[in-house]
Every structure is written in structure tokens, then in C-alpha cells.
Amino acid sequence: MKIVVAIDSFKGSLTSIEAGQAAIDCIQSLFPNCQTELAPIADGGEGMLTVMMSTTQGHIQSLEAHNPCMEKITTSYGISLDGKTAFIEMANISGLPLIKKEQQNPMKTTTFGTGELIRDALEKGCTDFIIGIGGSATNDAGIGMLQALGFQFLDKSKKALGQGGEILEKVASVCIQNVHKSLKNAHFIVACDVQNPFYGPNGAAAVFAKQKGADDSMIEKLDQGMRSFSQVIQRTIGKDISQIPGSGAAGGLGGGMLAFFNAELRSGADLLLDLSQFESKIENADLIITGEGRIDRQSLMGKIPGKILEIGKRKGIPVIAIAGCLEDEEILKSAGFKGIYTTKPDSMPLEEAMKNETAIQNIKKVLSIVIQREMK
């Protein structure tokens, strides 16, 4: 029997590799002759860099860059084995967890650090970029990123503006005189798993700015700023990005990259499954085990468990799923999962269940029962 394990990270507890290895260890302890394969996976958010490094055999590049509040920190990105492709997880430098709660203010926070990582990779000879844009602390439409690469954003008096979402409505023109020369030969793929437009009721500010520290007044100003900036983009480079699905991702970073880099927006789950050659890994498999920290009906809408279920159904391979937190079990089962199981015991406090070693043991305990049932 062959079992393939492809579990996304349990956010705050386990990486994809840790969760998957716990499952593999459990299977092999019970059935040493069972063929197992670990397929680390992510959807473009947390853990993407780790997964890509394990898939491409690339290396990690460390450097100092600026966090969303322009404080210098040590961060990293990945470079493929051939040195041509950079893998950047923007949350590692422009992410919400990198700043204190009292610093969270999307009027001020910037994606400048993400631009510094791109610049560093360009100067090391990278021409292809795969960038995961989940988990940002920002709503600056990528202006900070672009500033780090030499773009200047000017007000009506032709004066260069500062940083953060507060400048969006002040931008009147864009100066490209000092843009990094290597950008013209670079190709960008953006791993993005939200479909929000640039502005409006379902746009970047209206949907996501509150969780980044914005109050109602800020949200209104940011949305107006995004609308104004999209008009500047249309005037300057002739692109209307305002309603493109995903342009509002990461506080409009998706739209900024669409406009100025001619980037390709792709489903993070689809992209990572393709890059990891998942379908070749499940050839002749008898069972696929997937999962993530939380599974509910949203998991069927572009997330890893739902995507893997689609592939399993197409290939005729049963799929079971595990999760730290489980909701909508009947909906999930009716979608086609052979089984779906929660790893957290009802009596265990969430804080305890989220500890790394506890989460590993919980996966092993649940799967020891499930796998023995499947192997009968």
C-alpha cells in the first residue's frame, strides 16, 4: 500500500513538514512495509518558503531589511538551485506578526522591506520571482515595495511623498527615472488566495484593514486612497486594475504588482501543488492524507485540502483529512472526503493543543486509529 501525506501547516503550531512527518512516523511505526511519501505543501501564505526550499533544493539567503514600521530586522528569502528564481514570503518582512499591536496602523505601515528583498535578489542575478503575499500588515498598494526599487510617488507639487497608506490619495504622478534596471527583464508570479478587488465594499481596505489596526475612519480614507491611486495607475500606464480579482490582496500589493511588474496572479494552492509536482507523487497511491490547522467549508474554496480532494477524486484516490479545529463536517464529507478527523481532544485546552510537541502527539494518536481502520 502507498500513502501520500500532504498536510498544510497548523498555524502557530506545526509547519507542513512537521505535521507531515508526524503522520509518516505514525504510519511507519504501525506498518513498516507500507510505502509512504511526504509532500510538503502550502497555499502561498505561512510556510511557503520552507516548502519551496524542500521542493527545489535551493538555499536560504539571509539579509537585513525593514519591517512594516521601517525597523531593521534580519529576514530571509529563497533562491533556487540554478540561481535564477527567488522565492519570497512577504509575511517574513512585511507581515503583521512582525510588529507590536500598538504599532499596527495601515496608514503608516509599508511594504518597503518586500521591495528590498526583491532588489537583493535582482542584484544576485535572479530573473524569476515567486512571491507569496498572505499575512501583510499593510495597505499601501505596494507603494513601499516600489519605492525600494527606485519608483518615486509625487504629489501635485511634484514633491516626493513618504510611506504608508496615508499617501495613497496624495499621489498625483509616478517617476520611474531611477527604477532598478534589472526589473525590465524580471518575471513575477504572485501566489494569492483571495479574490478581492482593489477598492470598494469588497476591496482591500473594507475587508482587511481592520485586522491590521485601522478604525472606521481610516478604512474610509484608505479605500478612497486606493480608488484615487488606481486612477493614477490608469492615467500613468494605461491599466485598469481596480476590479481584477486578487488586486486587493495584501492591502493592494497584488494590484501594485499587476500594474507595475505585469505580474501573473495565481492561486497559491494551485501554484504550490504544480511546483511540487504533486500529481506525480500520488501515482499509484492508495490513500492521500491532507489537512491544516482549521478545516471548514471555506477549505473547499481554493485551500489546500479542497484542492487535494479535487485531485484525488479525479485520480480515483481516496482522501482523508485531519485538522486541529473542525467545523461543517457533514458538508465536507458530502464533498467527497473519505473521512475527516479532528486531532484536538475535546477536553484539551486550545493553548495546550497548539504546543508543538502536543500537536505532533495528537496527530499520531488520531492517525494510529484511522490508519489501522484504513489498512483492514
pTM of the model: 0.86
Q: Are 108 and 69 in contact (CB under 8 A)?
A: yes
What local confidence, expressed as pLDDT, does residue 55 receive? Answer: 79
What local confidence, expressed as pLDDT, does residue 134 receive? Answer: 83
What local confidence, expressed as pLDDT, does residue 301 receive? Answer: 82
Q: Provide the angle, in degrees to the nearest 10, between the axes of the packed helices 216-237 and 249-261.
A: 10
pLDDT digits over 186-198, tens only?
A: 999 999 878 899 9
* Average confidence score pLDDT of the chain: 94
Which residue segments constitute the domains of the chain, with CATH numbers given?
2-41+277-374 (3.40.50.10350), 48-268 (3.90.1510.10)
Distance, CA of 47 to CA of 53 (rounded, Å) = 10
Residues of the chain with pLDDT > 90: what percent?
Answer: 86
Q: Are 61 and 126 in contact (CB under 8 A)?
A: no
Q: Provide the angle, in degrees to the nearest 10, between the axes of the packed helices 268-275 and 48-56.
A: 20
pLDDT digits over 338-373, tens only?
A: 999 999 999 999 999 999 999 999 999 999 999 988
What local confidence, expressed as pLDDT, does residue 256 receive? Answer: 97
What local confidence, expressed as pLDDT, does residue 54 receive? Answer: 81
Does 78 score more than 90 pLDDT? yes
- Three-class SS state of 174: strand
pLDDT digits over 105-155, tens only?
A: 999 999 999 999 999 999 999 999 999 998 899 999 999 999 999 999 999
Q: Are 244 and 255 in contact (CB under 8 A)?
A: yes
Our measurement of the distance from residue 150's CA atom to the centroid of its chain's CA atoms, rounded to an integer in Å, reads 25
- Residues in CB range of 129: below 8 A, 6 or more apart: 85, 86, 88, 118, 121, 186, 187, 188, 189
End-to-end CA distance of the chain: 11
